[in-house]
Amino acid sequence: MKNAGSKLFRAGDLIICFAVVAIAVLLFVLPFTKSGSSVLAVSVGGSTQRYELGQDREFVLENNGIMLNVKIEAGEASVVLSTCPDKVCVRTGKISAKGQIIVCAPADIAIWIESGEEDGYDGVIG
């Protein structure tokens, strides 16, 4: 353990440096391959269907005589049109973080983000 034989630089150090940089680059790339994994769950009158949040699409849901126009765009979901007089679901706006939910009670329809990134904290006091 004494200082004898401790050199400043050896060939193995290059491997360590290279490994550290390689892991850093790998972590740079990794989040982009994971970003399409958010799932939107749609429950109409009790039966649930799932959609990829990464794919842009528009579809119409109908229940109890009410029609909802759901739009998925750029990883965000929203109800753009509703024939229901309340319009609570339209005013909820866009949802994108895990756990967020849009509900139309008269139509018995709920839309929520099932998996994906959670909404971050506003702040943490140290």
Residues forming contacts to other proteins in the complex (CB under 8 A) are 1-3, 5-13, 15-17, 20-21, 23-25, 27-28, 30-31, 34, 117-118, 120-121, 124, 126
At closest approach, how far in Å is the CB of 58 from other proteins?
29
Return the closest-CA partner of residue 40 out of 58, 63, 65: 58
Amino acid at 49: Q
At closest approach, how far in Å is the CB of 47 from other proteins?
32
Judged by beta carbon, residue 22 or residue 80, the one nearer other proteins is 22
Bridge partners of 57, per DSSP, are 72
Return the closest-CA partner of residue 100 out of 53, 32, 47, 68: 53
Judged by beta carbon, residue 3 or residue 47, the one nearer other proteins is 3
Judged by beta carbon, residue 23 or residue 105, the one nearer other proteins is 23
Query: Which strand ranges, in their side-by-side order, compose the sheet holding 39-44?
Result: 47-52, 39-44, 109-115, 101-104
At closest approach, how far in Å is the CB of 108 from other proteins?
33
CB 93 within 8 A of CB 110: no
